[in-house]
Amino acid sequence: MVPAENPATPEKFAFGRALFYEPGLSGNGEQSCADCHDPALAFTDGLVAPTGSTGDPIPRNSMALVNVAWLRTLTWPNPMLTTLEDQLLIPMFNDAPTELGMSGHMVEISARLSEDAQLVALGEAAFPKEDPFTEVPLVYALATFVRGLISSGSAYDRFEYGGDPSGMSDDARRGMALFFSEQTECYHCHSGLNFTASFVSTTSAGEQESFFNTGLYNLDGQGAYPASNQGLYEITGDPADMGRFRVPTLRNVALTGPYMHDGSIDTLEGVIEHYNRGGRLIAEGEQAGDGATSPLKSDLVFALNLTDEEKVQLLAFLGALTDTTFTEDPDYGP
């Protein structure tokens, strides 16, 4: 949703787009937003986890920037970040870990950006009554651009809403039936137009649960997750929230691997195996444990007992959520 204090305009979108691809926005002038959010990968980076501009490791996998205007919450573990204007402050100004590393560098960043004539023209058009290279205009412009990244042209969309069956193979259609069936119950968590329980719109009915423990880890037999990534528990301190993370969108999911909050599953086939088993088994090592037996795992995660053919069909449906008109849209690129 668009907050009243930051109404969208074409000028803000254009300025935000330029800033998104501008390494001069970072504290040391070496990294842009696009380094972690590549449009060809549905605005993810293809890495297990990104690295900040100063070399700091970022603990969580880069989330896809797809239809974020309709997300109820905006990060893996934090239910309190509900607007892009608030969420953007973290990668821009956080220093533990450092991402763009803008904190303490605004004077030099403003001077650096002001030397680019194109950026100056875009900034003045977007914010004619104030200095566009100060914190609030920069945040507002980036939020406007990211909020405008809209994907709705997948084969599934054309089939379901456009009456065009051409992009949906027989396997994809059977996989869609599986996805929306009580056999798998995938749709309970990956729901709505955005394929996530975090989806919100003007017609949404009340609050939906957005954070789930999927049995990815069970280090101690009591549901423990690695100390560096414990999900909602990090925010609430409630032991019942251990390992609960926000449900990501499945739009363009075939492009956004590796998967899960920590990038610990390489492929979509691996993700399907994880859910088919009803939780992940890590047989040895520091993270050994059987997620299927975690007492904190959501009741919606259970052994699916899919056949090999059904796994292929489900994978085909997930592939049909790819929208190349989105990933190749020149309006979203550099």
Here the tokens at position 84 are: 């892009």
Residue 127 lies in a domain: yes
Compute φ and ψ for 129, nearest 5 degrees: -105, 5
In sequence order, which ranges of the chain are alpha helices (DSSP H)? 10-20, 84-87, 89-93, 106-114, 117-126, 135-147, 155-162, 170-179, 186-189, 233-236, 268-277, 308-319, 324-327
Task: List the CATH number of the domain containing 136.
Answer: 1.10.760.10
CA nearest neighbour of 99 among 110, 84, 88:
88
- Name the domain count of the chain: 2
Nearest-angstrom CA–CA distance, 286 and 207? 37
Report pLDDT for 200. Answer: 73
Report pLDDT for 201. Answer: 60
Residues 125 and 174 in one domain: no
- Please report which confidence band the pLDDT of residue 144 belongs to, taking 50, 70 and 90 as the band edges: very high
Identify the three-state secondary structure at position 253.
helix
Residue 3 lies in a domain: no
Cβ(187)–Cβ(179) below 8 Å: yes
Domain boundary among 86, 121, 150: 150
Residues 35 and 111 in one domain: yes
Residue the block writes with tokens 């680019």: 116
Could you read off the pLDDT of 244-263 as tens digits, one per residue? 999 999 999 999 999 999 99
Could you read off the pLDDT of 154-205 as tens digits, one per residue? 999 999 999 999 899 999 999 999 999 999 999 999 999 999 999 876 554 4
- Please report which confidence band the pLDDT of residue 284 belongs to, taking 50, 70 and 90 as the band edges: very high
CB atoms within 10 A of CB 270: 15
Residues 125 and 189 in one domain: no
Nearest-angstrom CA–CA distance, 78 and 231? 8
Report pLDDT for 208. Answer: 54
Residues 131 and 174 in one domain: no
Could you read off the pLDDT of 88-125 as tens digits, one per residue? 999 999 999 999 999 999 999 999 999 999 999 999 99
Report pLDDT for 204. Answer: 47
Q: Report the predicted TM-score, pTM, of the whole model to 2 decimal places.
A: 0.96
Residue the block writes with tokens 């251990």: 242
Q: Domain limits at 226?
A: 167-195+204-322
Is the per-residue pLDDT at 206 higher than 50?
Answer: no
55: left (phi over 0), alpha (psi -120 to 50) or beta: left
Average pLDDT taken over every residue of the chain: 96
Nearest-angstrom CA–CA distance, 266 and 251? 18
Nearest-angstrom CA–CA distance, 183 and 192? 18
